Amino acid sequence: MAEIEIGVYKSGRQAYGFDDIAIVPSRRTRDPEDVDISWEIDAYQFGLPLMGSAMDGVISPATAIELGRLGGLGVLNLEGLWTRYEDPTRLFDEIVELDDEKATARMQEMYSEPVKLELVTERIRQMKEAGIITAASVTPQKTAAFAPAILAAELDLLVIQGTVVSAEHVSKTSEPLNLKRFIREFEIPWSWGAVPPTRRACTSCAPERSACSSASARATPAPRGACSASASPRPPPSPMWPAPACATSTRPASTST
């Protein structure tokens, strides 16, 4: 398949969503019982090829628990309302009822509440106590600050997400995340990637790697279509409503509903 030039010496391959594909029966069919849809990240195996996006409108601790029991993986947004408020349920109810003209301003007010690191640890432990594989996301700017709380809660998988993520970020105003050093020191498996709203590609790394590669030595790519980025409610694009995380893959993956 021909590659598409993205810019800045980067290229990609066309990805397809469910709306782009029609399933046509062929001469041979296969019994569903003979099909293995399981997939792996690092040492963790999943029976359902579904990964819940790290958005407040998609994954709550309860949703992640239920998805994990079904065999999938839900990624909790550690910079969302669940780590800013003890009980944000009423805020989600309010968001659903907001007019489009008022939604962004009101949500900016909600997200102005600081993240509480004790809630980061509490939410992760809540999911772990249910006996599921736990995953959560942070942005590069918050990764180092959140790391102690994440490790204290014994998170299984960490997703570092952002609109643009690179191995080495340069800044004159703040101390950037040194990704190469971080992956040598961090004790749990993690993944990172630039995550546009609809089409995306992710990169996976094992914790002991000194440099990031397209796939870690111990990680097996997830099947295509394992990402989920459908949310309701979903407000207009805003820095306060992070882009979704997706499954680790060495090839571009498309969103699914």
All structural domains of the chain with their residue ranges: 41-195+217-254
- The answer to whether the CB of 213 falls within 8 A of the CB of 232 is no
- Residues 106-118 have pLDDT tens digits of 999 999 999 999 9
Residue 221, number of CB atoms within 10 A of its CB: 20
- Residues 70-118 have pLDDT tens digits of 999 999 999 999 999 999 999 999 999 999 899 999 999 999 999 999 9
- The answer to whether the CB of 214 falls within 8 A of the CB of 203 is yes
What's the residue count for the chain?
Answer: 257
Residue whose pair of structure tokens reads 């997703």 in the numeric block: 159
What the block records as the tokens of 122 is 């509490």
- Cα separation values, 119 from 61, 86, 88, 135, Å: 12, 8, 12, 15
Level-2 CATH architecture, domain 41-195+217-254: Alpha-Beta Barrel (3.20)
pTM recorded for the entire structure = 0.67
Residue 37, number of CB atoms within 10 A of its CB: 13
